[in-house]
Structure 1
């Protein structure tokens, strides 16, 4: 009877059933492949908030391009060197474990529009700025001023006086309030990862655009990895510092903050989840020692800037370390001491 029933089903119906089965199988195969690359289903709270579609789009956006096997990165020195650049490689669609760009022209436009960098000299100066002080210097200075509550409250009042105050004033008020409230623990946060991971992104871009030689790029990656290890004890700690500082930097209001938080939560899964890229690369994995080729290039340009003696005592261990190596390359004054700028 069952055979008779099945034989009575028209071919178009069988064809439609077959197409549905193939589509379902293809869907599950794609899901399995995505999970192997770090994608995870939308967490319960994300689904409850009605953001599952947004999460799934972010899974597609952040799916990494890996050359070879993910597990091979654990013993690949170049993958370890590139690890800090993976944060942006995920968003840019760049291969995470190769020094390459997926869209050089788009990268060139980004460098000019977002950074004002159009050539080798501009890139090298910006890399040095990020490694030496970056935006963390300004954030730390504002945090220090906010220790005096009376100053912070009067500054908020001053910035709020005009009804149509500038975006810059709005951002300043927002950040001061965050410091006063110690929102997300920023009173004790080390902001340096924000600068170091962006420097890694610029290093990849500079190499891809021909502004850095490959040798210079790998050596600068070694310098950036050294900077991270001076400041943090794990990938988790570095990521938390980066994403919290990015939140402080963005200052774009509640709606955009929620979108940014979802974006970085998803990106964090691809970095530090069970199948995450950084999970595959030990924090203490060996990599070549830097030769400070970036400092050599800066010395040739006459662009080294040394810490003033009064600033040395307040500088971080990393900043003192970088400054010490810069001094060996700095021009000497008549008295035989490096010129301090």
Structure 2
């Protein structure tokens, strides 16, 4: 089980550390079953600076203050969550359909929604049928909010943002999370679903792999005494 590192002497208030805490699942997944090296109550990096800079540029297009603020704001407003939630409204009634019925449903989407939405509906339906996929979840907005916290946190660690510039985004993120979800568990489950749906097209990795990575991280976050999700009430 993954454990989490903390500063010897706290630098920030409990509310500020709570605003950083959504990023902890990203750190736990990246730790891949090992202990998280970065302190979960600070902005330090969890890997070599040059590797992190390359990752932020390649994966997020973040290279400076302006791009960090732009990406953080875009994720806060919902980069994938609203789109995913809209498609889920269409397809959830069809998860239990037979394969023939599901194919007919997907074909019925083509005239009004086009090929891209119909294809995504097929990927999502396949992912939602996985036995390890959580069946009870709320809005996938958590997928955006976790990534926002990670991007902003990492941007401070790289020197693109100051902590003072980061807190408004981080605080807004955790406040919105608490409006959408009743607990860390619900928040984490929604993140795991959103991440798996994003991976369901197989372009980056598979929904199965995504769940295999996120579920152990969630278990650690919800049960390990060193976890910020355990130490800090929702």
With structure 2 as the length reference, what TM-score do the two structures score?
0.74
* 5+ long unaligned stretches in structure 1: 1-38, 40-61, 160-166, 284-341
Give yes or no for contact 1:156–1:176 (8 Å, CA) kept in 2. no
Pair 1:106–1:170, CA change in 2 (3 A): farther
Match for residue 260 of structure 1 among 198, 210, 214: 210
Matched with 1:143 is 88
Match for residue 101 of structure 1 among 45, 59, 83: 45
Larger Rg belongs to: 1
Pair 1:77–1:140, CA change in 2 (3 A): closer
Give yes or no for contact 1:88–1:201 (8 Å, CA) kept in 2. yes
RMSD: 3.5
Matched with 1:281 is 232
Matched with 1:84 is 22
Match for residue 185 of structure 1 among 125, 135, 143: 135
* 5+ long unaligned stretches in structure 2: 32-36, 95-99, 110-115
More divergent stretch after superposition (108-117 vs 234-243):
108-117
Matched with 1:65 is 5
Q: CA deviation at 1:228?
A: 0.9
Measure the CA separation in 1 of the matches of 2:38 and 2:75. 22
- Deviations 1:13-40 (Å, cap 9, x if unpaired)? xxxxxxxxxxxxxxxxxxxxxxxxxx2x
Look up the SS of the partner of 1:185 in the other structure: coil
- Deviations 1:312-335 (Å, cap 9, x if unpaired)? xxxxxxxxxxxxxxxxxxxxxxxx
- Deviations 1:34-67 (Å, cap 9, x if unpaired)? xxxxx2xxxxxxxxxxxxxxxxxxxxxx443322
Q: CA deviation at 1:112?
A: 1.3
Matched with 1:201 is 150
Match for residue 271 of structure 1 among 217, 221, 225: 221
Measure the CA separation in 1 of the matches of 2:67 and 2:105. 34
Give yes or no for contact 2:81–2:140 (8 Å, CA) kept in 1. yes
Give yes or no for contact 1:112–1:118 (8 Å, CA) kept in 2. yes
With structure 1 as the length reference, what TM-score do the two structures score?
0.53
